[in-house]
Chains A and B, each alone.
Chain A
Amino acid sequence: MTPIDLQDRAQYLSLALFAQEIVSVLMQYVDEDKSDNLRTTLNEALISLRDAGSASVSGRRRAAAFASYEQLRTLDEVWKQRERDKARRMIQVILRKPRDPKAKPAANSLIDLFSKLQDQALWNFEQPRPVSPGDMQRLCRLA
């Protein structure tokens, strides 16, 4: 048996830390022109975002984030599809040409987006909610 609220809280904190790591490497890149871990961290973010939107269930075990119900729900609360697409585009801009003049403004946009995600994850960590009855009803109706 596992204590459910702690498990769910831990999922939110993992997401907040994931967002914090992305924001930290982006800040180093923008403010100090350092790109240590930039590629690895952004690649992980890109894979996680791609898997979060895919219909496949199995691939998400590899992803660094959005691999659980709680994390997907947080993502859903804070980013619309438009913002997910924007985040993916911005990451690709930086990964393709980190020295391009467009890359740093893209990094600043990403800092804003992931900061919002970190805020929401922290909020959910403080105020965890049970599984949405709507989601469960939808699942029960699938049979």
Chain B
Amino acid sequence: MQTRLAAFLHDAAVLHTFADFIEEYCKEQARSQRYVDASGDFFRYSESVAHQIKLKIGNDVDRAQSFPPAIALSRIDTLRRNALTFKGYLRLLHTLIKPAADAHTLSIPAPLVKLACEHLKQIEGMDGSKVVVLLTPQLMYFQRPHSHVKQQAAIVGRLIPQAEKFPARLGFIELPYSQGPGFFTNLAIYHEMGHFVYEELSSSPSPSAGIRALQRATHKSVTEFVKLERKPQVRKLAEKILDSWTQEIFCDLLALYLVGPAFSFALVEIFALLGSLSRGKRTTFSQEHPAPACRFAEHLRFLRDASTWWTAIAHIEPQQKKLLAEFATIPRERYRVDGDDAPKALIDPFLDSIIPRIRELVREIAPDPKLAAARFDKTLVTIEDCLSVGVVPHSSTGSPPEPVSIINSAFCFYLTSLPDMVGRFEEGPGASANAEKRSKWTRKLEDWTMKAIEDSQVRTQFERMERDGPQQGRNS
């Protein structure tokens, strides 16, 4: 028994040290940096859980030394196993805490993140939700699946009731650290935010009609597909694949409803960066993603048929727009999978039964996209005029342009007018073909765009204060 006890004491001491570090680290971050949205809430939660785990492990060490001999061995093993499980939970928090600490306001596009958080709260069923931004070392945008963290936090809360409760409706979004200060590719956070929305809405105890219809369609597709299969985990695998594909299309459409074609352009840039536009990959479905061609077909369908955006951007013909149209016209018969990477036969039910339900669901919860396209149409010329002479977009006669108009106008300008702008500001022949100079002026364009959004946000806050009074304004 002494050996088992000694092993448990060792594990307990290791866990105590680990929890102590997390507690102190979270305290320090909350004191020393400024963050957007909910990072402070997350640090406070982690600090509290780490502190309570230290107390719990102290109590368990006392218990371990007082079990009756007949049951001592098995009970000490249980306490040791529990300590390892708590350590696992702290490890998961640990993987989130450092990237969250790195994502302070100086290292991320704060006005864009703030705008995305405001948009998030306007989605039906998402009021009161908050986001923690993380910076990842990987060159990819992620949404950390928060529903597992929530589920784990709920059990930890029951095992250690003294710990602070996990903040309600908290999502995690990761940006690659190299893209942190940029703007255009960071529009991908709208897609990642969509994963958070999907997880929240689909795990709601009272799901909306749109969610229920989507769940029924998925259930029917899976049931028909696996009807002869008896092994539960194989059936679950089919459901998992369809769920991943569903989420990708849902997130793309939600992002399009919220920020319009600028999101499609950003996604083309990201796919190009990752090499996902090659001939082989454009029609390939993987376990996690529908083929880029399938995704862009949905983009085009939304821009052209479900909104007025395609007409609003008719005046520009950048490569990104042509590529979107080219991918969208690839016939579905050419969609494929790589060997046994995913079941090809799931593609048809996905396209025929599930995607129509996703479209309905997004239409049900998102704002009307026609309004944003109309506002864009009105302010496009003003915004482009400002950018072309190196001025932060503004209106000389009234309120600043609305953020979605700024984003789309700036992206259109970036795709079509950057060489002219470089030629206007840089001396020497061939300046517009110089990669370094293009990069420099792209960054400037991104900075002006972000400043214009920030100005618009300040103006909105001011107007809200004027309308509702200081108390309401401060709370919002």
Contact = CB atoms under 8 A, between A and B. Distances in A.
B233 A69 contact: yes
A137 B142 CA distance: 28
A11 interface: yes
Contact of B343 (A2, A16, A140): A140
Contact of A139 (B140, B223, B230, B343): B343
B192 A14 contact: no
A3 B144 CA distance: 7
Given A27-B78, A57-B222, A72-B236, 13 more contacts: A2-B144, A6-B144, A17-B159, A20-B155, A31-B75, A55-B235, A57-B226, A69-B236, A135-B231, A135-B234, A139-B229, A140-B340, A142-B345
A52 B345 CA distance: 25
A32 B226 CA distance: 47
Given A18-B155, A20-B159, A69 B237 contact: yes
23 contacts: A1-B140, A2-B143, A2-B144, A2-B195, A3-B138, A3-B142, A6-B95, A6-B145, A10-B92, A10-B149, A13-B152, A24-B82, A57-B226, A57-B239, A68-B236, A69-B240, A72-B233, A118-B85, A125-B88, A135-B233, A135-B234, A136-B237, A136-B287
B350 interface: no
A118 B81 contact: yes
Nearest to B226: A142
A34 interface: no
A26 to B, nearest CB: 10
Contact of B341 (A14, A17, A136): A136
Contacts of B289: 1
Interface in A35-77: 37, 52-55, 57-58, 60-61, 68-69, 72-73, 76
Main secondary structure of the interface of A (DSSP, over half): helix
A118 B174 CA distance: 30
A122 B159 contact: no
B233 A122 contact: no
B142 A2 contact: yes
A69 B71 CA distance: 35
Given A69-B236, A140-B344, A20 B81 contact: yes
A138 B82 CA distance: 36
Given A52-B232, A115-B81, A31 B71 contact: yes
| A4, A23, A52, A142 — most chain B CB neighbours (10 Å) | A142
Given A10-B152, A57-B222, A122-B88, A135 B237 contact: yes
Interface string B149-168: 10110011011000000000
Q: Which 6 A-B pairs have the closest CB atoms?
A: A143-B345, A10-B148, A72-B233, A17-B155, A69-B236, A58-B219
Interface residues of A, number: 51
Interface of A: 1-4, 6-7, 9-11, 13-14, 16-18, 20-21, 23-24, 27, 31, 37, 52-55, 57-58, 60-61, 68-69, 72-73, 76, 111-112, 115, 118-119, 122, 125, 131, 133, 135-140, 142-143
Interface string B56-74: 0000000000000001001
A17 B156 contact: yes
Interface of B: 71, 74-75, 77-78, 81-82, 84-85, 88-89, 92, 95, 138, 140-145, 148-149, 151-152, 155-156, 158-159, 174, 191-192, 195, 203, 215, 219, 222-223, 225-226, 228-240, 287-289, 340-345
Given A1-B141, A57-B222, A21 B288 contact: no
Contacts of B138: 3
A103 B159 CA distance: 23
Given A14-B151, A27-B75, A135-B234, A4 B343 contact: no
Contacts of B191: 1
A142 B229 CA distance: 8
Contacts of B344: 140, 143
Given A3-B142, A31-B71, A17 B85 contact: yes
A139 B235 CA distance: 8
A137 B340 contact: yes
B148 A1 contact: no
A60 B92 CA distance: 25
Contact of A16 (B88, B158, B192, B215): B88
A143 to B, nearest CB: 3
A142 B219 contact: no
B151 A76 contact: no
A133 B289 CA distance: 18
A105 B215 CA distance: 42
| B145, B149, B236 — most chain A CB neighbours (10 Å) | B236
Contacts of B230: 55
Contacts of B78: 23, 27, 111, 115
A125 to B, nearest CB: 5
B88 A131 contact: no
Contacts of A4: 288
